[in-house]
Amino acid sequence: MPIRSTARTPLAATAALGVAALALAGCVANAPAGATVLTVDITDTGCEVSANTAAAGAVTFSLTNNGTDVNEFEILADDQLRIVGEKENVTPGQTVDYTAQLDPGTYYTACKFQLVGAPIGLAEFTVTGEAVAGDENRQALEKEAVTNYVSYIRSQVGELLPQVQAFVDAYESGDDETARALFASTRVSYERIEPTAEAFGDLDPKIDYREVDALAEGLDWTGFHRIEKDLWVPAPDALNSDGTSAWLDWQPSTPEQRTEFGDQLVADVQQLFDLVSASDFTVSLSDISNGAIGLLDEVATGKISGEEDWWSHTDLTDFAANVDGASVAFGNVKKIASETDEGKALVAEIEKQFTALKAELAKYGSIESGFTPYDQVTDAQRKQLSDAVNALAEPLSQLTSTVLGV
């Protein structure tokens, strides 16, 4: 259930805001004592891990970006497709720690320059030994956390499927007013559990990629944001988020194309539903805690800048949904994090900052009543939101190592 970048390329719009959109990635906890620690040298063309094997349990990768632009680190399953761990938005010159709980098996490590394109420096990584077992009380808490979070994922995807169908029905029939009204609310359930889709290969790109990112990766552009542009047709002189003309190689969809794009979105969400409903679907403890961290990272890198919903300006709804999802993920592991005095203090600080961030966000509306369009939120107000995100990010970045007890 790790976070996979959904088109968070480093765009001029991010820099222009003057807000700390990438500051979240800089909130680094020291490598936890007791974990295996490996260094990763990241360059524009390489991804060099200091060892190709580690013992089962908590493994900390100390990532240093010696390249010229933002990068990310990935741990892939033995099929080289499914992502089992990821740290995105590692900025040039930055060193950041990423901790994952790894069971015995064969994995692959890789990096992704500018967060797009094929993996760079793909290398086999072997985890040896036996799966780490804790005491009975710890195991019970872990089982409770996983069971509850899997139920939450299934519940959210169960709500998403009929919402997407209603949204697509309006879009395909040409009822743009209804489709526009449904766009933001339909995306809420998806944004709350987005890391789940990101773990299933190309599902998230098909469902949620923005235009500039699909083109950067040479993919067919489909999903929510393809439909979004049809519903909020750009002005003749409008620009995409990367500064190119909004009309470059794009025209509003024909009725036949609308049917194609709408049906594809429903099919992709149905596939997501089927995958999370499978009897063998599960997540790990580190998936949950890293998911909380990653969802907040989604806010910092896509929502604060206004790049996520470039045409509809419904970014604050996605923002709130990401925060909801992060809060639920944190809530499912906070009992485990609270087993020590240090953990209790960390949990208290995280709860305090969640409350402050939600209060800041509430100034602009709510998921139920709607939010202020993001193009009406000033740079100063965006900075206040960014500051609240970063205040939460610092303690939240320590959650995984605390939960894993290393």
Using one digit for the tens of pLDDT, what is the confidence trace for 338-366?
999 999 999 999 999 999 999 999 999 99
CA distances from 242 to 15, 24, 67, 249, 298 (A): 11, 22, 21, 14, 18
Query: Average pLDDT for residues 396-401, to the nearest whole number?
Result: 94
Query: Average pLDDT for residues 71-96, to the nearest whole number?
Result: 86
pLDDT of residue 25: 33
Cα–chain-centroid distance for residue 281? 19
- CB 128, CB 78: distance < 8 Å: no
What percent of the chain clears pLDDT 70, i.e. is strictly above it? 90
Structure tokens at 57: 């349990």
Query: Average pLDDT for residues 15-20, to the nearest whole number?
Result: 32
CA angle 296, 297, 301 (to 5 degrees): 125
How do residues 224-271 score in pLDDT, each as one tens digit?
Answer: 999 999 999 999 999 999 999 999 999 999 999 999 999 999 999 999
Return the CATH class of domain 135-406: mainly alpha
pLDDT bracket for residue 119 (50, 70, 90): confident
How do residues 165-199 score in pLDDT, each as one tens digit?
Answer: 999 999 999 999 999 999 999 999 999 999 888 88
* Fold for the domain defined by 31-133: Immunoglobulin-like (2.60.40)
Average pLDDT over the chain, rounded to whole?
89
Query: Average pLDDT for residues 65-93, to the nearest whole number?
Result: 87
Give 259's strand partners: none
pLDDT of residue 332: 92
- Given a cut of 80, whether residue 298 has pLDDT beyond it is yes
pLDDT of residue 6: 37
How do residues 98-109 score in pLDDT, each as one tens digit?
Answer: 988 888 999 999
C-alpha–C-alpha distance, residues 202 and 82, integer Å: 9
Q: What is the pTM of this model?
A: 0.76
Distant-in-sequence, close-in-space partners of 222: CB < 8 Å, separation ≥ 6: 206, 207, 209, 214, 261, 264, 265, 268
Residue type, 283: V
Distant-in-sequence, close-in-space partners of 264: CB < 8 Å, separation ≥ 6: 206, 222, 223
- Given a cut of 60, whether residue 94 has pLDDT beyond it is yes
Q: Where are the domains of the chain?
A: 31-133, 135-406
pLDDT of residue 34: 59
DSSP state of 118: S
Give 97's strand partners: 62
CA distances from 249 to 182, 211, 215, 246 (A): 27, 11, 11, 8
pLDDT bracket for residue 117 (50, 70, 90): confident
CA angle 367, 199, 148 (to 5 degrees): 60
pLDDT of residue 28: 39
pLDDT of residue 133: 64
C-alpha–C-alpha distance, residues 12 and 10, integer Å: 7
pLDDT bracket for residue 201 (50, 70, 90): confident
- Given a cut of 80, whether residue 79 has pLDDT beyond it is no
**Segment holding 108, helix H or strand E:** strand 105-111
173: left (phi over 0), alpha (psi -120 to 50) or beta: alpha
